[in-house]
Amino acid sequence: MPTAKEKSCIKTSNLELQKIDNVNNSNDNNKSFLNTKNIILITLGIILSIVFISLTFIFVLDIKWDALFVQIKNAFTGGRFAGLWLISLLLFLVCRYFFTYIVFTTRLKKIGIKVSFSQKLLYTLTIWFLQGVTPANFVTDPYTVFWLKTQGLPTHKASALVLSTVSIWQLVQIIVTLPSFVFICMEYSSLIESKGGIYTFWIMVVGLLFDFISLGFLILCMINKHIHMYVSMFFNKIKKILHLKYSTKEEIREKYLVKATLFNDLKVLIKDWKITLYLIFWFLIYEIYIYLLMFFSLKFIGYDYEMHLWNIFNCANVSITANKMLPIPGGELTIEAFLKLTISSVGGIAPKPTCHNPDTGSLINNGVLIWRTFSSYIPMIFGIFGFAILTVKQFLQIKNKNIFSKKI
């Protein structure tokens, strides 16, 4: 039997080991996002974003700045509800801020984890920045997993939460996009008359198929745990080829078939119908709003033009959806090109008889710029500050933990 002194020494040693373990775990959590791979991806994304934004203004949107400012001035002096359309544009930023964090904090709140306002704000701004400089969800989803872990969730629960949320969002996107795609198919002859129209149409077809395939894969992940094992084995082989640390087949089987924590967590989350329906509702609001935003942008400056809300909504919907599969940071360049082509072809915009200087092409270019400014550029600019704060905080935490670990 150990003496009281020995017991005290053992207890002290265990506490010290626990401290070291906590430090290592904390460092792992920090490094899980701020690692070499993600830093390279984000840096490359920033460079490419600057390049693509420059190309957009040079080759796609022929913006005549003097004419744009005159249009905006006339919109306000003419008393044509410009203030109402501007409020609609500004409200989207509020909606997007609320939407960005609510999809995750709702579930966190249910399990007793409260997230402070500053944490919500920092997460939202960082996501806005990452969405603007990286394609699809290559970095945003891993960052969300990382952020959820900092809120107290274990990795498998954080991953399940992100995967289930993406699945719901994918389902809503297909539901909203299908009617718009039917509209585009009905206007096929008008679309292909435009230069590049035939290529744009088939990219839209591939984009919609991509959404269906993605949703099908996500559903399989929820009903068959073998899918988790096969995906893990695939990436495990890549790690082995690259001479990185990899798991054995037995370890993978144990993790995904025997324990199956990720699979079980997914089932629990999806079966929570109250929150699932709540998220579907908010996803619908957001998806519809961002497509209506294109109409609001055009109405803001196009008071001398007749335009059809349904046509523009469908053009924006299908154009944006088609871009989500392209590996371009923020969908820059291609999304503007698709919007410009579809709206000019089937958007149903025509100058009113009272219009003194009809220039539909200039209106569409300016409208796309205003839409892009409120849907992407402004959030990305605000996001720079959030990402900068996050980066400084994480590096300071890693530095302090390393110092503490050395002292131990």
* Interval 282-325: pLDDT, tens: 999 999 999 999 999 999 988 778 889 999 999 999 998 888 77
Looking at residue 353, its pLDDT comes to 67
5-21: per-residue pLDDT in tens?
444 443 433 433 333 33
- pLDDT at residue 26 tops 50: no
- pLDDT at residue 254 tops 50: yes
**Cα separation of 221 and 196, whole Å?**
38
**Cα separation of 106 and 151, whole Å?**
13
Instruction: Extract the tokens encoding 4.
Output: 């009281």
More confident residue, 174 or 246: 174
pLDDT band at 238 (very low <50, low <70, confident <90, very high): confident
Among 165, 31, 173, 174, residue whose Cα is nearest residue 100: 165
- pLDDT at residue 258 tops 90: no
Looking at residue 213, its pLDDT comes to 92
Instruction: Tell me the average pLDDT across 317-341.
Output: 88
Instruction: Tell me the average pLDDT across 349-368.
Output: 81
- pLDDT at residue 400 tops 60: yes
Looking at residue 10, its pLDDT comes to 38
Looking at residue 79, its pLDDT comes to 59
Looking at residue 150, its pLDDT comes to 85
- pLDDT at residue 263 tops 80: yes
Looking at residue 110, its pLDDT comes to 79
The proportion of the chain whose per-residue pLDDT surpasses 90, expressed as a percent, equals 31
Q: So where are the chain's domains?
A: 25-407
Is residue 52 classed as helix, strand or coil in its secondary structure? helix
- pLDDT at residue 226 tops 80: yes
Q: Looking at the DSSP assignment, which residues form a beta bridge with residue 305?
A: 351
- pLDDT at residue 161 tops 50: yes
Looking at residue 406, its pLDDT comes to 57
Looking at residue 14, its pLDDT comes to 41
**Cα separation of 300 and 83, whole Å?**
8
Instruction: Extract the tokens encoding 36.
Output: 């070499």
Looking at residue 32, its pLDDT comes to 56
**Cα separation of 110 and 187, whole Å?**
46
Looking at residue 403, its pLDDT comes to 61
**Cα separation of 80 and 303, whole Å?**
6
Looking at residue 29, its pLDDT comes to 46
**Cα separation of 408 and 61, whole Å?**
59
Q: Pick from 98-107, 132-141, 166-175, 358-367 the range whose average pLDDT is largest.
A: 166-175
What is the secondary structure of 149-191 as a DSSP string?
HHTT--HHHHHHHHHHHHHHHHHHHHHHHHHHHHHHHHTHHHH
pLDDT band at 351 (very low <50, low <70, confident <90, very high): confident
* pLDDT, mean over the chain: 83
Looking at residue 6, its pLDDT comes to 44
pTM, rounded to two decimals: 0.84
More confident residue, 113 or 181: 181
- pLDDT at residue 178 tops 60: yes
Looking at residue 78, its pLDDT comes to 66
Instruction: Tell me the average pLDDT across 240-264.
Output: 82
Among 302, 221, 330, residue whose Cα is nearest residue 269: 221
Looking at residue 93, its pLDDT comes to 92
- Other Cβ atoms closer than 10 A to 5: 8
C-alpha angle with apex 103: 100 to 106, nearest 5 degrees?
125
Looking at residue 179, its pLDDT comes to 94
